[in-house]
Structure 1
Amino acid sequence: MAAFHHISLLTKDRHENVRFYTEILGLRFVKNTVNQENHRMLHYYYGDYQGSPGSVVTFFLVPYLGNRYDNQQYISTIGLKLPQDSLAYWQDRLDHYDISYTTNDRQLRFYDSDQVSIVLTETDLPSLPLEQQVKNEIPAEKQILGLNSSQIHVGDPVATSAFFEKFLGWTTVDQRIQLNATDFLDILPTESEEASRMGRGSVDHIAFAVANDAELEKLHQRAKEQGWNIEKLVSRGYFKSLYIREPGGNRMEFATLTPGFTIDEPLESLGESFALPPFLADQRAEIEAQLYPES
């Protein structure tokens, strides 16, 4: 079955970002590293205790970042799934932090400090396994399980749906691709002819999980044969990734499940130091010296 790997966005305020995703949502800060495309930019990762694929939300930190303009094409919404019988707990938690939200059936919808739409959906799933539970005040049986939805907004939803159908065999029904029993991707129409502009809270890409390097290479070959807009195939150290622009212009990533976040720091201390994957380790002094100053 298909599944999310991670979702990556932009923020300007590292302190508020960490506070929101760790203190309020209770995710673990699993990696403090650098944007491998721009070594001046920090890259923060949040997830379950292990930073398991499918649990991870990441942010590129860009001081002085301007407003975003979601027009002709953009990705929106971080949908996160909750275990059974946990919705009331999360309503109380959001009330405690004075966060406004709306409710719909088993869902809570609210916004982070960058006006990113967050949706918490209660499922019938059990709580996280012990080894994935984050060590914080949120009871194990109430902790966020991982990603379960997002939205692609495009001028021509038919073309985007056709991409997923031809490339991956994922069918769209009523504007929705159902990835598995709980997780889905919505493909929604936009009306604007103006180009979108990245800014605070913009989603840079959605990443989908791929079993291993061999399966990723199969996808790469298929993308070439079918003539899709391939950006790159690259190792990020923590996983290997294939980036493709779907026909609407949004970036899709396909990322392997391994080797994971423990290649450059121990599981017990993930996120506690500025980490660099092995191929960047010898550039540490230069990278640290050139990081963007805080805004």
Structure 2
Amino acid sequence: MKIKGMHHVSAITANAKDNFHFYTEILGMRLVKKTVNQDDTSMYHLFYADETGNPGTDLTFFEIPNAGTTYPGVGSISSTSLRVPNNAALDYWKERFTEHNVDHDDIAVQGERKIIRFRDPEKQRLILVSDEENNGIAGGKVWKHSTVPAEKGIIGLGPAKLTVRKAEPTVDILTKLLTFKQIGSYPSEVTDQPDILVFSTGDGGTGAEVHLEVRKDLPQERPGRGSVHHVAFRVEDKEELTKWKDRLEEIKLPNSGMVERFYFRSLYFRDSNGILFELATDGPGFVTDEEFEHLGESLALPPYLENQRKKIEARIKPLETKRSH
């Protein structure tokens, strides 16, 4: 039983059309799946990733049109990192963000890596992180039709930052239940707050880390548009996921049980800080029901929702995602 690294991060948007424009046209990611939230089919679920949606490259969004403003705080997945190939790519992105009026900070250092913090139009808290020093899990492959050059493009998810009031419950989940180990720390940007702890799993590197921030000075986060719903970690297959389910039941940690998502299988649970974790299998993947060349162009529904297609399509706004070039 081994957690291999990041699988995906799922966040909230209030506007699928604007979200699609930002993540594909500005960030150059590929929409690899346009589907619906299987727990509430009245909302889109959009998956942006590398060329095929390899595990560890997916940033996904639920569209909740009436989602309110996010009030940042503890009990949250407070930033999502996106990997770029090297430090030179950050120079490119700094210019690109200025050109496209993207709210961003200057190039900075986080631990031993160079980064740029930035926000999408809904104030989603994002970080570009350089893979120049990466000796762990390899990144994905930029889609050939990306709006960003392949040598500069986003190649996967970097560390997820969790912000909590008390470290111990989340440290226990990461190190005693899952297979993370603390490998270091770096100073908080906030005066008089503890160092941010760095945890790594699997083969390590940029795509296999969680950063844990303790903040005594913040209220509980009130999520809305621009917030993160959950973070998912990779497990090999269904057999291994079953072992994780058995382990959660053994320690009496409430969980969802095995959930069929068609493109992967999942298992959900929370720690006592309120962080929602998911374990997800590496496969079957997104080319299961669409050809590689046409991923994300049509509304894809798993077989068990196909008989509801007319009803589902009537409840969601049309979203044009076919390539025009």
* Root mean square deviation of aligned Cα: 2.2
* Residue of structure 2 equivalent to 1:259: 284
Q: Is the 8 A contact 1:9 1:202 kept in 2?
A: yes
Q: Is the 8 A contact 1:240 1:256 kept in 2?
A: yes
Asked if 1:178 is matched to 2:188, the reply is no
CA distance in 2, matches of 1:212, 1:253: 14
- 1:222, 1:241 → 2: CA distance? 15
Give the conservation status (yes or no) of the 8 Å contact 1:48–1:134. no
- 1:139 aligns to what? 149
Unpaired segments ≥5 residues, structure 1:
none
Residues 82-91 or 268-277, more deviating: 82-91
Q: Take 1:2 and 1:226, find their aligned partners in 2: how far apart are those partners?
A: 22
Contact 1:41 1:292 in 2 (8 A): no
Report the counterpart of residue 130 of structure 2 in structure 1: 122
Which has the larger displacement, 197-206 or 94-103? 94-103
Give 1:293 shift.
8.9
**1:283 equivalent in alignment to 2:291:** no
Kindly indicate whether the alpha-carbon contact (under 8 Å) linking 1:42 and 1:291 is maintained by their aligned counterparts in 2: yes
Work out the CA distance in 2 between the residues paired with 1:4 and 1:129: 12
TM-score, structure 2 normalization? 0.84
Q: Tell me: CA distance 1:128–1:181, structure 2 relative to 1, closer, same or farther (3 Å).
A: closer
Select which of 90, 93, 108 maps to 1:90. 93
**In structure 2, C-alpha distance between the alignment counterparts of 1:128 and 1:248, rounded to whole Å:** 30
Distance 1:78 1:182 in 2: 12
> How far is 1:44 from its partner?
0.7
Residues 26-175 of structure 1 aligned to structure 2 (within 5 Å): 26-84=28-86, 85-102=88-105, 103-105=107-109, 106-124=114-132, 133-172=143-182, 173-174=184-185, 175=197
CA distance in 2, matches of 1:114, 1:291: 20
Pair 1:122–1:158, CA change in 2 (3 A): same
Could you say if the C-alpha distance between residues 227 and 289 of structure 1 is closer, same or farther in structure 2, counting changes exceeding 3 Å?
Answer: same
TM-score, normalization: structure 1? Answer: 0.92
* Distance (Å, rounded) in 2 between the aligned partners of 1:80 and 1:47: 10
Q: Residue by residue, what CA displacement relative to the aligned partner does 1:82-106 show, whole Å, maximum 9, x if unpaired? A: 1123222112211211224222032
AA partner of residue 122 (structure 1)? S
| Partner of residue 191 from structure 1, selected from 216, 220, 223 | 216
State the shift of 1:224 in Å: 0.9
Decide which moves more: 162-171 or 271-280: 162-171
Q: Name the residue aligned to 1:240.
A: 265
**Bigger mean CA offset, 32-41 vs 182-191:** 182-191
- Aligned residue identity for 1:153: T
Q: Where in structure 2 are there 5+ consecutive unaligned residues? A: 186-196, 320-325
